[in-house]
Every structure is written in structure tokens, then in C-alpha cells.
């Protein structure tokens, strides 16, 4: 089996279902638990090991679905990455809490939902870009590591700017950030950064929030009201759609544009793991094609860069 199978992870944001945080839709709409569990089982059967989740995906529902799925595979060799920091108070008001006290409680809660003894990777979930990493007290993390509750820790950054600060402040050993065929800024800011090279990189949003999809090459998406993309600013939605259509030539390759776009990320030397979301068996099979087909030809990679040379100005920092 090609080594890239170990770089293909399984994102589970969608397992949270209809997810409302701070009064805003932050999920992907309806999810069928049975289909989700079948997708996890198929992924395990195909050799996928890395599963990415978070305590805020459906207020723990994503973790619970994974926990149920793993019960049928007690001897499977899987790696769990979960996140913490986004929570609601007793009145249902959203706030971020990265305190050591909450970190410990969050870890214990996640272990219970996932039905496991140890979290392989614990990530701070979308903290502010200017978070003071240098002065964060990691005593509790060290203690939980010594107890065997955590193996590694790091940050899932909301933006590339935030990821760069994490790298420069040398916090943890794992960075999760956006990287896809449309938004390739990680190549400049992280993959060529000698400090960031000391961290394992998890590529999130590898399919540009689903815009790198064959059906959107020909029609405008109509996202449901319980899908967070319904509320994307129109200028972002337009840029993603227009840019994806500039890569229509990828749809001529085996597997189509989605598989081809995933190949771009999966086979990149700067990527440790890539976590496309998969909600059913069909998506697992499609994503596995990206492993089987191997890396894109150099001329195709160059054509991608020429077709979409940069992100829009309002995304830059």
C-alpha cells in the first residue's frame, strides 16, 4: 500500500449535523448516524488511520459517532485528533475558553465521548490570531501527557496569520490550517518557514469547503439554511465559485475535479495529514482514489498555479 494512505485522514465536522454556535449555523446540515458509522468502518477497512474531530461539532455528537464506530473495531490502529476551546455557558451563550482548567475538563469529556483512553493529538480550536502562546501555562498539558491522556498538542488555526504566529512562537508540535488548490498560502508562509517545519502540518479545508466539486462547475450552489456555507459573504462565495471553475481542466482527469484537487494536497511534501470531510461510503471511496492515482503531473500543478495565482485581496494579511 502506498505510504500516502497514512496521509489521508478523515475529517468529521459534518458528523456534528445541524450545529448552532453563538446563534449561527456552523454545521453541514443533516447527518445520518448509520451512514456516518459505515463511512468510518469503510475508511478503517481501507487503511485510513487519522480521524479529526472536535468537542464543538454538534456539542460532542461528532465525537460520540466516532466512539460508536470504533467500538466495532477494538483492535484497529487509529489516531484521534480532537479540539477544544469553543463552548456555551449555562444560558447557551457561546464563548471561547482556552484556560488550563477547561482544557482538563474538555479532555476528560472528549475521552468519555470517544470511548478511548488517550487523545493522540489535542488542538486548541480556532483561537484568536493574536493569542499569547509564549506565556500560556502548559503545566496541565504536561501533567495530562504524563498521565497518558494526551500524546501531542498544537493549534487548529482559523487563519494562516494565526498559524504563522503559532509557528513563530513555537507552541506545540502540530499546526492545522487551510491548504487547498485555491488557497495555497501555506506553501509560502509555513512550508518554507524553517521554524514551522518543526511542526506536523494538518491540511484542513482541502476541497475549499466543497466548492471544488464537479456539480458547481455548471450550476450555482444552493446551500440549505442549516449549512454554514449559506451564510458565507457573497464576495467569498463568488470568488470560490469563479476560481473553482478556472480549474475545470482538473475534471478531465480520472476521478474528476474533487479527486484531482485532493491529490494536489495529499501528495504535497509539506503536508503531514489531509482531512477531507466524508459523510458516506461513496465519499470515502472517492477520496481513496486520490491515494491510488498518485501525485498530479508537474505540468498540471503548474497549470493550477497559473489559473488561480493568488487569493483575493481581502484575505491577505
Residue-wise pLDDT for 196-220, tens only, equals 778 899 999 999 999 999 999 999 9
Q: Which neighbouring-strand residues pair with 119? A: 150
Q: What does the angle CA 243 – CA 247 – CA 253 come to, to the nearest 5 degrees?
A: 160
Read off the pTM: 0.95
Q: Was domain 3-315 assigned CATH 3.40.190.10? A: no
How far apart CA 217 and CA 286 sit, in angstroms, is 18
C-alpha cell at 2: 502506498
Residues 6+ apart with CB under 8 A from 93: 22
Cα 19 → chain centroid: 16
Q: Which neighbouring-strand residues pair with 152? A: 121
C-alpha cell at 117: 483512553
The length of the chain in residues reads: 317
Question: Of 162, 164, 166, whose CA–CA distance to 153 is shortest?
Answer: 166
How far apart CA 154 and CA 204 sit, in angstroms, is 14
C-alpha cell at 180: 487547498
Q: Residue 135 in 3-state DSSP? A: coil
Q: What is the residue-level pLDDT of the chain in tens, covering all 317 positions?
A: 355 678 999 999 999 988 777 777 788 888 999 999 999 999 999 999 999 999 999 999 999 999 999 999 988 889 999 999 999 888 778 899 999 999 999 999 999 999 999 999 999 999 999 999 999 999 999 999 999 999 999 999 999 999 999 999 999 999 999 999 999 999 999 998 777 778 899 999 999 999 999 999 999 999 988 888 989 999 999 999 999 999 999 999 999 999 999 999 999 999 999 999 999 999 999 999 999 999 999 999 999 999 999 999 999 98
Q: If 0-12 CB within 10 Å is exposed, 13-18 middle and 19+ buried, where does residue 232 land?
A: middle
How far apart CA 240 and CA 229 sit, in angstroms, is 11
Strand ranges (DSSP E) for 238-303?
A: 273-274
* Interval 22-40: pLDDT, tens: 777 788 888 999 999 999 9
Amino acid at each position: 500500500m502506498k505510504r500516502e494512505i497514512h496521509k489521508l485522514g478523515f475529517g468529521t465536522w459534518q458528523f456534528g449535523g445541524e450545529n448552532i454556535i453563538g446563534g449561527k449555523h456552523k454545521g453541514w446540515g443533516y447527518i445520518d448516524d448509520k451512514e456516518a458509522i459505515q463511512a468510518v468502518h469503510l475508511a478503517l477497512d481501507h487503511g485510513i488511520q487519522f480521524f479529526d474531530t472536535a468537542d464543538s461539532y454538534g456539542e460532542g455528537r461528532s465525537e460520540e459517532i466516532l466512539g460508536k464506530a470504533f467500538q466495532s473495531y477494538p483492535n484497529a490502529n487509529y489516531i484521534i485528533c480532537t479540539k477544544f476551546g469553543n463552548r456555551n455557558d449555562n444560558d447557551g451563550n457561546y464563548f471561547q475558553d482556552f484556560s488550563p482548567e477547561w482544557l482538563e475538563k474538555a479532555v476528560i469529556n472528549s475521552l468519555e465521548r470517544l470511548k478511548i483512553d488517550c487523545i493522540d493529538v489535542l488542538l486548541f480550536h480556532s483561537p484568536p490570531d493574536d493569542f499569547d502562546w509564549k506565556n500560556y501555562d502548559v503545566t496541565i498539558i504536561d501533567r495530562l501527557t504524563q498521565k497518558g491522556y494526551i500524546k501531542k498538542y498544537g493549534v487548529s488555526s482559523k487563519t494562516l496569520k494565526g498559524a504563522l504566529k503559532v509557528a513563530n512562537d513555537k507552541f506545540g508540535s502540530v499546526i492545522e490550517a487551510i491548504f487547498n488548490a485555491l488557497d495555497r498560502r501555506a506553501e509560502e508562509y509555513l512550508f518554507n518557514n524553517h521554524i514551522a517545519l518543526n511542526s506536523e502540518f494538518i491540511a484542513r479545508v482541502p476541497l475549499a469547503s466543497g466548492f471544488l466539486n464537479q456539480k458547481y462547475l455548471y450550476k450555482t450552489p444552493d446551500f440549505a439554511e442549516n449549512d454554514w456555507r449559506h451564510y458565507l459573504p457573497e464576495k467569498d462565495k463568488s470568488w470560490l465559485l469563479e476560481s473553482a471553475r478556472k480549474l475545470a481542466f482538473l475534471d478531465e482527469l480520472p476521478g474528476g475535479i474533487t479527486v484531482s484537487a485532493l491529490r494536489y494536497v495529499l501528495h504535497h511534501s509539506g503536508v503531514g495529514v489531509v482531512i477531507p470531510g466524508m459523510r458516506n461510503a461513496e465519499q470515502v471511496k472517492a477520496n481513496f482514489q486520490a491515494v491510488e492515482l498518485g501525485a498530479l503531473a508537474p505540468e498540471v500543478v503548474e497549470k493550477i498555479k497559473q489559473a488561480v495565482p493568488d487569493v483575493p485581496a481581502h484575505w491577505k494579511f
